[in-house]
A and B are shown apart, each in its own frame.
Chain A
Amino acid sequence: MSSLWEYANPRKFMATSGALLPWVSGLAVLCLVGGLFWGFFLTPDDFRQGSTVKIIYLHVPAAIMAINVWLMMLVASLIWLIRRHHVSALAAKAAAPVGAVFTAIALFTGAVWGQPMWGTWWEWDPRLTSFLILFLFYLGYIAMWEAVENPDAAADLTTVLCLVGSVFAVISRYALLFWNQGLHQGASLSMDAEQNVADVFWYPLVTCIAGFFLLFLALVLYRTRTEIRARRLRALLAQERTA
């Protein structure tokens, strides 16, 4: 065990991730099923929001992970940029669809929650709109990977895109606050879990957040393994053509 960078070696990564994957997946299923079951069946309704409060067990973890997946892609892209570790670039590629689905879930549950609370399916609230823009960034990022033939060039181009996109995501966030002060402000409607959610909702929520995180980890490991195999397949086919 010499250094963390050892895991950037494809073979080493395959061995380690293969050993980890069953545990991570098992734990993810346990936390996710347990947390959602707990939240859905065993918690009371909120006195103002009624049963819609149960949506937070999906909405809040998905929203937290939507942002964190992008941050993980940013870090992985930077590692590729600085140290040229191929596995890092492939992990960023593998994470993007997961992040896009999480963002879509956060958006959808947010809209469904908003319907009874605000009386409209879609409210151009700054926070919800930021997630819409984040979703567009995910789509652009995925499309960029698909469009470029050479995998190293694709990794470089998506890295630049991810860097620029991150800066613009932050700028957009503040531009949107400026644009519309938002409906998320009322305390009892707030989605800020830490401040406003009682313990009885808090524990299942934390379990669900852990579940979403572990699911993300499992999916990224699994999908990165696929991407590594796809790269090897590509390399071998290229060798067969030149031989």
Chain B
Amino acid sequence: MPDLGRYATEVLTAYGVSIVALAALVWLSVRQARRVRRRLEDVEARRRAPG
């Protein structure tokens, strides 16, 4: 851990919040992708099934 001096709070907050924001964006994208993909697979399976 580098010595951040008297600005440690500012620097750590900036990194912390930014990384959380990016992680949240990725997580939401993945969650939405999974949900849509699962529903689409259900419907495609229904189409292929006879009747």
A sample of 22 cross-chain residue pairs with beta-carbon separation below 8 angstroms, ordered by A number, consists of A41-B2, A50-B6, A54-B4, A55-B10, A58-B18, A97-B25, A101-B22, A105-B18, A108-B18, A109-B17, A109-B18, A112-B10, A116-B7, A116-B10, A215-B22, A219-B26, A222-B33, A225-B33, A226-B32, A233-B36, A233-B40, A236-B44
Residues in chain A near residue B13, CB distance under 8 A: 112
Other-chain contact of A55, B1, B11, B39, B46 (Cβ < 8 Å): B11
Size class of the contact patch on chain A:
35 or more
| Cα–Cα distance between A108 and B15 once the two chains are bound (Å) | 10
Q: Are B37 and A229 neighbours in the complex by a CB distance under 8 Å?
A: yes
- Identify the closest chain B residue to A54 (Cβ): B11
Residues in chain A near residue B25, CB distance under 8 A: 97-98, 101, 219
Residues in chain B near residue A45, CB distance under 8 A: 5
- The prevalent SS among residues of B at the interface is helix
Q: Which residues of A contact B (CB under 8 A)?
A: 36, 40-41, 45, 50-52, 54-55, 58-59, 62, 97-98, 101, 104-105, 108-109, 112-113, 115-116, 215, 219, 222-223, 225-226, 229-230, 232-233, 236-237, 240
Residues in chain A near residue B28, CB distance under 8 A: 97
Q: Are A105 and B36 neighbours in the complex by a CB distance under 8 Å?
A: no
Q: Are B18 and A50 neighbours in the complex by a CB distance under 8 Å?
A: no
| Cα–Cα distance between A36 and B15 once the two chains are bound (Å) | 9
Residues in chain A near residue B3, CB distance under 8 A: 51
| Cα–Cα distance between A196 and B15 once the two chains are bound (Å) | 22
Other-chain contact of A105, B4, B21, B30, B32 (Cβ < 8 Å): B21
Of the listed residues B1, B14, B22, B40, the one surrounded by the most CB atoms of chain A closer than 10 A to its CB is: B14
Kindly provide the distance from the CB of A15 to the nearest chain B CB, expressed in whole angstroms: 16
Residues in chain B near residue A116, CB distance under 8 A: 7, 10
Q: Are B29 and A223 neighbours in the complex by a CB distance under 8 Å?
A: yes
Q: Are B21 and A104 neighbours in the complex by a CB distance under 8 Å?
A: yes
Known contacts A50-B6, A237-B43: does B18 contact A230 (CB below 8 Å)?
no
Known contacts A50-B5, A51-B11, A236-B47: does B40 contact A219 (CB below 8 Å)?
no
Kindly provide the distance from the CB of B4 to the nearest chain A CB, expressed in whole angstroms: 4
Of the listed residues A41, A59, A223, the one surrounded by the most CB atoms of chain B closer than 10 A to its CB is: A223
Q: Are A40 and B14 neighbours in the complex by a CB distance under 8 Å?
A: no
